[in-house]
Amino acid sequence: MPAAGTIKDGAMRHKYFFILFICFIFLLEGSLFAEESEVAEEEKPKLWQGAISLGYNKTSGNTNTSALSAGFFADRKSDKDEVNLKATLSYSSSDKKMDTQKWYTMSRYAYSFWKKKWYNFYKLELDHDRFANIDYRILPSMGVGYWFSDSEDFKAMTEAAAGFEHTNYRDDTKDSNEILLIPKAYLEKKVFKNSRISQELILYPSLT
């Protein structure tokens, strides 16, 4: 069982992470807005796209619950390469007892080649899930992908990657290391002018 000091230090660490996470979201939003303003003034194509979400829910009755969620994504796409950034945060409690605490971050860079249908990419994922006993899990990966279609109305692609996953647990469980094969498929269809439907499938089978 973790010592009281260790639990307290972990709680403080995640509290500081949450504060930094919120500050980073606002800083990112400001930078995206500034860049979009400059682009509009110079009448250049907009490279960056992004969104921020923040939600809170509270219920009272036989059981008092509260839930907080936050997230952002930012994408930069040019004719030759692409940058993707994403982060999510979830926290909830029931009768003042925490039952969810997790966060996830992802950064990805892809470079197109061979008629812009093929691309190679490099990706880094980092996450934490207190109630899955995961203090942190880091997964760098790299691979290749192919666009069957990349038009405004319809997008379809597939990827294959290999990665190395390291997991550090909150208790005395020994750290784990695994080599993963990571296939992915993605479909997106434009329905109306500002409406789209999409489906993404990612698998993480272990090779070790």
Q: Which domain holds residue 154?
A: 49-202
Q: 133: which residues sit within 8 A by CB, 6+ positions away? A: 169, 170, 171, 173
Asked if the structure places residue 36 within a domain, the reply is: no
Of 15-19, 74-78, 103-107, 190-194, where does mean pLDDT reach its minimum? 15-19
Residues 6+ apart with CB under 8 A from 200: 184, 185, 186, 187
CA distance 39 to 94: 46
**DSSP 8-state class, residue 206:** B
Question: Each residue of 149-207: pLDDT tens digit?
Answer: 988 889 999 999 999 999 999 999 999 999 999 999 999 999 887 788 999 999 999 99
Asked, for residue 27, whether it belongs to a domain, the answer is no
Sheet of strand 195-202, all strands in order from the earlier edge strand to the far edge: 48-59, 65-77, 81-94, 97-113, 118-129, 134-150, 154-169, 176-192, 195-202
Tokens of 87: 């982060």
Count the domains in the chain: 1
128 within a domain of the structure (yes/no): yes
3-state secondary structure of 18: helix
Identify the CATH number of the domain in which residue 75 sits: 2.40.160.40
Q: Is pLDDT at 32 greater than 80 in this prediction?
A: no
**Does some domain include residue 130?**
yes
Angle (CA) 71 74 78, round 5°: 165
Q: Which residue has the higher pLDDT, 38 or 177?
A: 177
CA 102 to CA 131: how far, in whole Å?
8
Asked, for residue 10, whether it belongs to a domain, the answer is no
- Indicate the DSSP class of residue 45: -
Max avg pLDDT among 20-24, 39-43, 77-81, 91-95? 91-95
